[in-house]
Structure 1
Amino acid sequence: MVKDYMIARMNIDSIKKYGALDLIWQVFLEFEAPDYSDEGIQEFKKFIDLNSIGQKISDNEMRFWGYFSGEDIVGVAATRQPCHISLLFVDKKHHRQGIGRELFNTITSFYKAAGLYREMTVNSSPYAVEVYHKLGFADTDTEQLVNGIRFIPMKYIFT
């Protein structure tokens, strides 16, 4: 784990200020895009468009968290309603340091405190399947392909 870190909820202003969407895009291009068609890459780019994300946050359809090491953002997580992880990305230099797990723990604590949900879902990219398995997710179906996006549907049961 990174020393001197902080996890904070983010709004559209802090997402812009700290370059959260740039971090997501760079990690996606390096680790996920090689498994995607051009259609899938463009679909993902459209999904993380600043205006689209801003509208989802404004409409309370999406929540965003950032993992900060000092002033630098090194990890990002986002959920959408009702209880679904839609983004979980960690800067390459900070992989395998527990940052993804800390973001996940923050998300699950948030939803457990709400007391409304018994499970969380995610559509894992092929690259992240093992990460989600280590976090306690189980596959709920085989690999899917929608609009060029490859994913494996998964579920996590709150304990």
Structure 2
Amino acid sequence: MMNSIAYRPPQLGDEQEISPCMWASADLWELTDGTPESVAEWKKISDLEELRARIFSSEKKLVATWNGIVVGFIAFRRGNHLSLLFVRREFAGQGIGRELFNRA
């Protein structure tokens, strides 16, 4: 499956696929502790408007796609500060996150 992964800058509309990917990762890796504050923070960073703003920002960012479906996302802030890196669960362990990092 790895050889059919494509990498490109995110486009308007990708936020519709990035947001659920982020929530699935947060659940899988227990990135939220379940407190209202923690959940509110995750809602904020995975909000569609917030993601649209990132897509149009000057930050470094990249998506990985498979058959046109977004399966991974990386974004940096303030130059080289890694702020987001997510890969859909069913694509984990294939080196997609590493490749996103190397290409961004």
Query: Is the 8 Å Cα contact of residues 57 and 63 (structure 1) preserved in structure 2?
Result: no
Aligned partner of residue 10 in structure 1, secondary structure? coil
Match of 1:13 in 2: 13
Is it true that 1:74 corresponds to 2:74 in the alignment? no
| Structure with bigger gyration radius | 1
How many corresponding residue pairs? 104
Query: What do you get for the CA RMSD once the two structures are aligned?
Result: 2.1
Identify if the C-alpha distance between structure 1 residues 93 and 13 changes in structure 2 by more than 3 Å, giving closer, same or farther.
closer
Query: Is the 8 Å Cα contact of residues 32 and 38 (structure 2) preserved in structure 1?
Result: no
Q: Give the drift of 1:11.
A: 2.8
Structure with the larger strand share: 1
What is the identity percentage for the equivalent residue pairs of Structure 1 and Structure 2? 29
The structure, 1 or 2, with the larger RCO (C-alpha pairs under 8 Å, 6+ apart) is 2
Q: For 1:12-41, what per-residue CA distance to the aligned partner results, in whole angstroms no more than 9, with x for missing partners?
A: 33333xx11111112212223454533112
Match of 1:106 in 2: 103
Structure 2: which 5+ runs fail to align? none
Q: How does 1:5-154 map to 2 (within 5 A)?
A: 5-16=5-16, 19-33=17-31, 35=33, 37-60=35-58, 62-107=59-104
